[in-house]
Amino acid sequence: MSIDYETGRVTHREVEECDTAAFRQFLEQILEAYPEGKIVMVLDNARIHHAKRLQPFLQQEKRLTLVFLPKYSPEKDIS
């Protein structure tokens, strides 16, 4: 699921298996939904988001930038 922080528009995709192929299809859906301009997505560190099979696609799609949250985010300050 993605949320456009400017408009509140939600884009989602329901799949039976959450794998690299499904994530790539979701990224393609996002690129189609937003045909112009740069797209920045903030993601957790799920393996499918870092998969080697995804890298050629990400290198090709220059409009798309993935930003990853720190591991175990949000970190809790207990001081």
Residue 36: both structure tokens together: 């112009």
| Residue 73 banded pLDDT, cuts 50, 70, 90 | low
Report yes or no on whether pTM surpasses 0.85: no
Q: In this predicted structure, what is the pLDDT of residue 13?
A: 72
Q: Hey, where are the domains in the chain?
A: 35-78
φ, ψ at 48 (rounded to 5°) = -65, -25
Contact 64, 39 (CB under 8 A): yes
Q: What is the mean pLDDT of the chain?
A: 84
Contact 11, 39 (CB under 8 A): no
H or E element in which residue 37 lies: none
Q: What are the tens digits of pLDDT across the range 42-69? A: 898 888 898 999 999 999 999 999 999 8
